Each structure stands twice: as C-alpha cells, then as structure tokens.
C-alpha cells in the first residue's frame, strides 16, 4: 500500500480481471496470470561508511516468463513495497507482450533512500543484492535494468558482482549499462523518446499538428527529460515540469507560459531529477505546488514520475482543454480516476504501451551484448521508432475496430499473446 492508500498490485489485478473476463480466459490461466510465478524476498546486510551494518529489505518478482526470460528494472525507493514490485512485474509482462518482444515480466526493488547514502554504500547495496539473487537471474532467466533512482553505474556494479561470482563475463545479464561498458546507444533516451513516438502517431491520427501542441509533464527525471527533449525537437511546447524536493519533502511544479528551456533546467537539476528551486526562480520559472502540474490548460498531460499521480481526488481538476494523457510513468492513473476519464472521453495511451521504449531498447541491448556487436545510435533509435510505431497502430486499430479504449485494446493484445504462449507450452 502506498502512503496515499492505493495498492498498485490490487490495481494491476483489477485491470487484468476486467480484461480476462472479456477474453473469456480459462480459470487456470486466469489464476496463473493474476499472480507472479516466483518471487524472492531478502534482507541485505550492508556495510555502511561508519563501520556499522544496516539491513535493507529487497525483492525480485518474476511475474511470467512464457514469452522469454523475465525483464524489468530494479528500483531504489524509501516507500518501495512488495506489492508495488508485484504490480510493476505484472505490467512488465504486458509491456513486453504488447511491444512484441520475446521477454517476460519481472521487477526488483530495494527499500532505501539514495539521498541518504554515499556512493560506496549504494555500491555495497548493489553487490549485496546480486549476491542474494545471482542464482535466479541470468541472460536466459531474468535480466534486470535501471528504474527509479538507479542508474547505469548501479547496473555496472551489479554486472561486475555477477561476473565475479560466475567467474566469466556476462554482458547480457543486465541492461542499462554505461555505453562504454556494453550499454546500448540510445538506451538513456529510449523511454522518453518512445513516449513521444507514440504521441506523434496519435496526433497524426487525430489530424493535429505537433507544433501546435502544448504539454505538461509530471517529473523531471530520465523519462520526463527525454520526452520533453524529443517533443520540443518536434516543435511542441512544454509549459510545466515537476519534481520532488528533498529539502522540503514535497513536490513542486515549475511553470513557464512560453515553454521551458530544457537545457537551462537540466543545468540546475541533480542526478535524482530534482530542480534547484532558487535557481529556477532566478531563471523566471513560477514555482507551484507539485499537484498543479495537471491543472494547466494544455493539450496533453504526460505523467512521468511515479504511480498514482491521477486519482479520484484530483482527476476533476484536469481542465476541459486537456484531451490526451500519454503515460510515461508506470501506473499513474488509479482505476477510479480512469473511470472519470472514460466518461470524459479522454484519450489515454496506457503506460505499458507508451513507456515500452525502455524495455524495447533494453531488449536491443541484450541482443547486442549477447553478440558482442554494437549498433550505431541512429540504428537503435530507428529500430525503436519502428517498433513503438507498430505497437501503437496494433493497439489503435484494435481500439477502433472493437470500439474500446486504448487501455483495453492494449491489454487484450498483451494478455492474448501471453495466454497463447502459456497454452502453447502446455502450462494450461
């Protein structure tokens, strides 16, 4: 359960149940798909800089691997719960399936706050995590990646620990590595760019010009920054971004009517995606409460921070001008809020389609690492664009044909693919 009372795992299961009913899934298959096939819980004893040992609770959840090895990030967050990890693992199963890549769904998490840790302590957590899980991951089993508050450096420490234990090199054991250490070119940009490839196609279908489109983005981390980058490159305007402020322990949004200057904001943002509030003020940004990100008169909202951003409490504050939501974050809309959005005919591109660029590029990284052959950035981004565009149209076309919302169409495609793989393997 998160602080605000929403349980993402219950949310993920509700979403699944609704579509499983529509697809008339076999009972056994339903039981198999509504829960993870395996999960691991650890207490990691970690040496701290002051010589003490601190124990961190950690998880790895493997939701389903019928389509291929599990895939999913490892999140460092003080409010991480096993249910959040379960939900995220389940959404990874649907994400890899809708993106049509031969991987299953997994996710990991460590309950910790990197703001309070030194680099050495973070390295110790990474190595300890791999000591705990190394028997149960691997290029053909489960391949972790970065997520909230984990980076390429964390992935490199984890890969190094895995290789030390195995006594061999395994560049394909983890993705999101630094580029000069087997990471794929384009991986850093992939999730945010993928969000915008999908938005670009949506606007084409609606016969609207991206150059006349205004967005408000929640978050200013990896996904938000690269979504803003490509959107602005295509000619769109971002009027607001938001972030967590560690000092004040609350979120702020930063607004500029004419549009943000991305490089200017990046230059005053730390590695956690938090903008320096004093410097932002000097540069003319209006600082507003974090929740104001969804109150602006824009065309599109891009939630790109954490889950449960749009709830029944704040959904009514979205102005009528907004008619599209493209979900960069995982699980940003609660089911109650989604019902209100449905009544409003809001076009919602669901998270596991819109943010599938990250896992698609991670898959490309796995392919490159396993072959020890690396592609140029243009090739990676070109393949990514093709893959996101075709996933978008599969979902869009089904939604039009069946007269259902994009979320339902995406779920139908994903669940059907995983169900067929389970059946073909003879699991049910």
Contact 268, 291 (CB under 8 A): no
Residue 104 CA to its chain's centroid (Å) = 15
Binding ligand NAD (rule: CB under 6 A), the pick from 217, 260, 329, 399 is: 329
Smallest distance, Å, CB 182 to ligand NAD?
17
Instruction: Tell me the residue nearest to ligand NAD as measured from the CB.
Output: 221
Tell me, yes or no, if 107 is annotated catalytic: yes
Burial 248-273 (b: 16+ CB within 10 A, else e): eeebbbbbbeeebebeebeebbeeeb
**Residue 304 near ligand NAD by CB under 6 A:** yes
Binding mask 260-299 for ligand NAD (x = CB under 6 A): ------------xxx---------------x---------
By CB under 6 A, what part of segment 137-156 binds ligand NAD? 147-149
By CB under 6 A, what part of segment 194-253 binds ligand NAD? 218-224, 242-244, 251
Number of residues that bind ligand NAD (CB under 6 A): 27
Smallest distance, Å, CB 86 to ligand NAD?
14
Smallest distance, Å, CB 271 to ligand NAD?
9
Q: How far is CA 375 from CA 49, 114, 161, 183, 191, in A?
A: 40, 33, 26, 11, 18
Instruction: Count the residues in the chain.
Output: 428
Smallest distance, Å, CB 350 to ligand NAD?
12
**Residue 358 near ligand NAD by CB under 6 A:** yes
**Angle at the Cα of 403 from the Cα atoms of 198 and 12, rounded to 5 degrees:** 65
**Residue 333 near ligand NAD by CB under 6 A:** no
Nearest alpha carbon to residue 364 among 158, 133, 193, 235: 193
Binding ligand NAD (rule: CB under 6 A), the pick from 32, 306, 413, 415 is: 306
| Burial bucket for residue 240 (CB in 10 Å: 0-12, 13-18, 19+) | buried
For ligand NAD, the closer CB: 306 or 413: 306
C-alpha 320/C-alpha 394 separation (Å) is 28
DSSP 8-class letter at 310: B
Q: CB neighbours (10 Å) of residue 425?
A: 10
Residue of 71, 95, 107, 295 with catalytic role: 107
**Binding residues vs ligand NAD (CB under 6 A):** 147-149, 191, 218-224, 242-244, 251, 272-274, 290, 304-306, 328-330, 355, 358
């Amino acid at each position: 359960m998160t602080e605000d009372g929403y349980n993402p795992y219950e949310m993920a299961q509700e979403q699944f149940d609704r579509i499983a009913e529509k697809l008339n899934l076999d009972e056994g298959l339903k039981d198999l798909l509504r829960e993870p096939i395996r999960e691991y819980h650890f207490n990691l004893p970690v040496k701290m800089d002051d010589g003490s040992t601190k124990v961190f609770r950690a998880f790895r959840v493997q939701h389903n691997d019928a389509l291929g090895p599990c895939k999913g990030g490892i999140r460092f967050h003080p409010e991480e719960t096993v249910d959040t990890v379960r939900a995220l693992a389940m959404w990874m199963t649907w994400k890899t399936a809708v993106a049509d890549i031969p991987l299953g769904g997994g996710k990991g998490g460590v309950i910790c706050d990197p703001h309070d840790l030194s680099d050495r302590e973070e390295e110790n957590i990474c190595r300890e995590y791999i000591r705990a899980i190394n028997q149960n991951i691997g290029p053909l089993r489960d391949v972790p990646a970065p997520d909230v508050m984990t980076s390429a450096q964390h992935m490199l420490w984890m890969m190094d620990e895995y290789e030390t234990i195995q006594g061999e090199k395994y560049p394909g054991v983890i993705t999101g590595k630094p580029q000069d250490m087997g990471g794929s070119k384009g991986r850093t940009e992939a999730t945010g760019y993928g969000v915008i490839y999908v938005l670009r196609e949506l606007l084409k279908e609606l016969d609207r010009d991206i150059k006349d489109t205004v967005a408000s983005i929640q978050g200013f981390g990896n996904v938000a920054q690269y979504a803003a980058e490509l959107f602005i490159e295509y000619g769109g305007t971002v009027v607001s971004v938001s972030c967590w402020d560690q000092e004040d322990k609350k979120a702020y949004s930063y607004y500029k009517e004419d549009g943000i200057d991305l490089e200017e904001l990046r230059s005053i943002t730390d590695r956690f995606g938090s903008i320096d509030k004093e410097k932002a003020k000097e540069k003319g940004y209006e600082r507003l409460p974090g929740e104001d990100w969804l109150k602006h008169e824009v065309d599109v909202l891009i939630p790109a921070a954490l889950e449960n951003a749009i709830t029944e409490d704040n959904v009514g504050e979205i102005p009528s001008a907004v008619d599209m939501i493209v979900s960069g974050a995982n699980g940003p809309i609660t089911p109650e809020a989604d019902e209100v959005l449905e009544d409003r005919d809001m076009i919602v591109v669901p998270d596991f389609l819109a943010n599938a660029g990250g896992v698609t590029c991670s898959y490309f990284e796995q392919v490159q690492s396993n072959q020890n052959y690396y592609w140029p950035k243009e090739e990676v981004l070109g393949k990514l664009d093709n893959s996101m565009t075709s996933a978008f149209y599969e979902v869009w076309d089904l939604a039009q044909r069946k007269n259902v919302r994009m979320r339902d169409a995406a779920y139908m495609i994903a669940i059907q693919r995983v169900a067929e793989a389970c059946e073909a393997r003879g699991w049910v």
